[in-house]
Structure 1
Amino acid sequence: MEAKGIEANVVTYNSLISSFCKAGRWDDGAQLLKDMITRGITPDVVIFNALIDCLVKERKLKEAEELYNEMISQGA
Protein backbone atom coordinates (compact mmCIF):
# COMPACT_ATOMS: atom_id res chain seq x y z
CA MET A 1 0.00 0.00 0.00
CA GLU A 2 2.61 2.50 1.01
CA ALA A 3 4.57 1.77 -2.14
CA LYS A 4 1.55 3.10 -4.03
CA GLY A 5 1.31 6.21 -1.86
CA ILE A 6 -1.57 4.99 0.30
CA GLU A 7 -1.08 5.60 4.01
CA ALA A 8 -2.54 3.13 6.47
CA ASN A 9 -4.88 4.49 9.13
CA VAL A 10 -6.85 3.06 12.03
CA VAL A 11 -9.57 1.76 9.67
CA THR A 12 -7.01 -0.02 7.50
CA TYR A 13 -5.40 -1.65 10.52
CA ASN A 14 -8.81 -2.55 11.91
CA SER A 15 -9.69 -4.44 8.73
CA LEU A 16 -6.39 -6.27 8.61
CA ILE A 17 -6.26 -7.14 12.30
CA SER A 18 -9.89 -8.28 12.33
CA SER A 19 -9.24 -10.51 9.32
CA PHE A 20 -6.19 -12.08 10.93
CA CYS A 21 -8.12 -12.67 14.14
CA LYS A 22 -11.06 -14.27 12.32
CA ALA A 23 -8.57 -16.61 10.67
CA GLY A 24 -7.10 -17.49 14.09
CA ARG A 25 -3.81 -15.78 13.31
CA TRP A 26 -3.26 -14.00 16.63
CA ASP A 27 0.47 -13.55 16.10
CA ASP A 28 -0.05 -11.69 12.83
CA GLY A 29 -2.72 -9.48 14.40
CA ALA A 30 -0.46 -8.72 17.34
CA GLN A 31 2.38 -7.81 14.99
CA LEU A 32 0.12 -5.37 13.17
CA LEU A 33 -0.88 -3.83 16.51
CA LYS A 34 2.80 -3.24 17.30
CA ASP A 35 3.35 -1.85 13.82
CA MET A 36 0.51 0.63 14.06
CA ILE A 37 1.63 1.85 17.49
CA THR A 38 5.18 2.27 16.16
CA ARG A 39 3.77 4.39 13.34
CA GLY A 40 1.96 6.62 15.83
CA ILE A 41 -1.54 5.33 15.06
CA THR A 42 -3.60 4.84 18.20
CA PRO A 43 -5.62 1.61 18.28
CA ASP A 44 -9.32 2.03 18.95
CA VAL A 45 -11.80 -0.11 20.88
CA VAL A 46 -12.72 -2.05 17.72
CA ILE A 47 -9.14 -3.23 17.26
CA PHE A 48 -8.76 -4.13 20.92
CA ASN A 49 -12.07 -6.00 20.82
CA ALA A 50 -10.99 -8.09 17.82
CA LEU A 51 -7.70 -8.99 19.46
CA ILE A 52 -9.26 -9.79 22.84
CA ASP A 53 -11.90 -11.96 21.16
CA CYS A 54 -9.18 -13.84 19.31
CA LEU A 55 -7.20 -14.42 22.49
CA VAL A 56 -10.25 -15.69 24.37
CA LYS A 57 -11.07 -18.11 21.56
CA GLU A 58 -7.51 -19.41 21.73
CA ARG A 59 -7.91 -19.77 25.52
CA LYS A 60 -5.17 -17.24 26.21
CA LEU A 61 -7.09 -15.64 29.02
CA LYS A 62 -4.14 -14.06 30.80
CA GLU A 63 -3.06 -12.33 27.59
CA ALA A 64 -6.65 -11.23 26.93
CA GLU A 65 -6.86 -9.69 30.39
CA GLU A 66 -3.53 -7.90 29.90
CA LEU A 67 -4.70 -6.50 26.58
CA TYR A 68 -7.99 -5.42 28.15
CA ASN A 69 -6.08 -3.57 30.86
CA GLU A 70 -3.92 -1.94 28.19
CA MET A 71 -7.07 -0.82 26.37
CA ILE A 72 -8.47 0.70 29.57
CA SER A 73 -5.19 2.46 30.37
CA GLN A 74 -5.18 4.03 26.88
CA GLY A 75 -8.76 5.19 27.28
CA ALA A 76 -9.96 3.31 24.21
Structure 2
Amino acid sequence: MFFSSIFIPLLYLIPILFSHLQIFHLFCTLIKSTKLLSQKQIYWGFLKTTKNPKGISGNQKRRRQKPPPDTFTL
Protein backbone atom coordinates (compact mmCIF):
# COMPACT_ATOMS: atom_id res chain seq x y z
CA MET A 1 0.00 0.00 0.00
CA PHE A 2 2.84 2.38 0.87
CA PHE A 3 4.60 1.65 -2.43
CA SER A 4 1.53 2.40 -4.53
CA SER A 5 0.85 5.63 -2.66
CA ILE A 6 4.30 6.90 -3.74
CA PHE A 7 4.55 5.29 -7.17
CA ILE A 8 1.19 6.33 -8.67
CA PRO A 9 1.65 10.09 -8.08
CA LEU A 10 5.15 9.77 -9.57
CA LEU A 11 3.65 8.30 -12.71
CA TYR A 12 1.44 11.35 -12.99
CA LEU A 13 4.29 13.76 -12.30
CA ILE A 14 6.81 12.36 -14.80
CA PRO A 15 5.04 13.55 -17.99
CA ILE A 16 4.35 16.94 -16.41
CA LEU A 17 8.02 17.31 -15.53
CA PHE A 18 9.06 16.29 -19.04
CA SER A 19 6.71 18.81 -20.60
CA HIS A 20 8.13 21.52 -18.34
CA LEU A 21 11.65 20.54 -19.37
CA GLN A 22 10.70 20.73 -23.04
CA ILE A 23 9.12 24.15 -22.56
CA PHE A 24 12.23 25.33 -20.69
CA HIS A 25 14.48 23.98 -23.46
CA LEU A 26 12.40 25.74 -26.13
CA PHE A 27 12.55 28.96 -24.10
CA CYS A 28 16.36 28.70 -23.83
CA THR A 29 16.75 28.09 -27.57
CA LEU A 30 14.49 31.06 -28.30
CA ILE A 31 16.61 33.30 -26.08
CA LYS A 32 19.82 32.07 -27.75
CA SER A 33 18.43 32.57 -31.25
CA THR A 34 17.22 36.08 -30.46
CA LYS A 35 20.62 36.96 -28.99
CA LEU A 36 22.35 35.69 -32.14
CA LEU A 37 19.91 37.57 -34.35
CA SER A 38 20.41 40.82 -32.47
CA GLN A 39 24.20 40.41 -32.69
CA LYS A 40 24.00 39.83 -36.45
CA GLN A 41 21.68 42.80 -36.93
CA ILE A 42 24.02 45.04 -34.94
CA TYR A 43 26.99 43.72 -36.95
CA TRP A 44 25.28 44.26 -40.32
CA GLY A 45 24.07 47.67 -39.20
CA PHE A 46 27.64 48.56 -38.27
CA LEU A 47 28.88 47.40 -41.68
CA LYS A 48 26.22 49.47 -43.44
CA THR A 49 26.96 52.61 -41.44
CA THR A 50 30.73 52.57 -42.01
CA LYS A 51 31.95 55.18 -44.50
CA ASN A 52 34.12 52.78 -46.48
CA PRO A 53 31.91 50.02 -47.92
CA LYS A 54 34.82 47.84 -49.04
CA GLY A 55 36.23 47.66 -45.52
CA ILE A 56 39.72 48.85 -46.54
CA SER A 57 41.21 51.50 -44.32
CA GLY A 58 43.29 54.38 -45.61
CA ASN A 59 46.54 52.82 -44.42
CA GLN A 60 45.86 49.61 -46.31
CA LYS A 61 45.11 51.58 -49.47
CA ARG A 62 48.36 53.50 -49.20
CA ARG A 63 50.35 50.35 -48.51
CA ARG A 64 48.85 48.57 -51.52
CA GLN A 65 49.76 51.38 -53.91
CA LYS A 66 53.46 51.29 -53.00
CA PRO A 67 55.56 48.98 -55.17
CA PRO A 68 57.31 46.11 -53.37
CA PRO A 69 60.88 46.94 -52.35
CA ASP A 70 63.66 45.43 -54.43
CA THR A 71 65.52 42.91 -52.34
CA PHE A 72 68.06 41.93 -55.02
CA THR A 73 69.83 45.31 -55.34
CA LEU A 74 73.27 45.57 -53.75
Q: TM-score, with normalisation over the residues of structure 1?
A: 0.22
Q: Which has more radius of gyration?
A: 2
TM-score (norm 2): 0.22
Higher relative contact order by CA 8 Å / sep ≥ 6: 1 or 2? 1
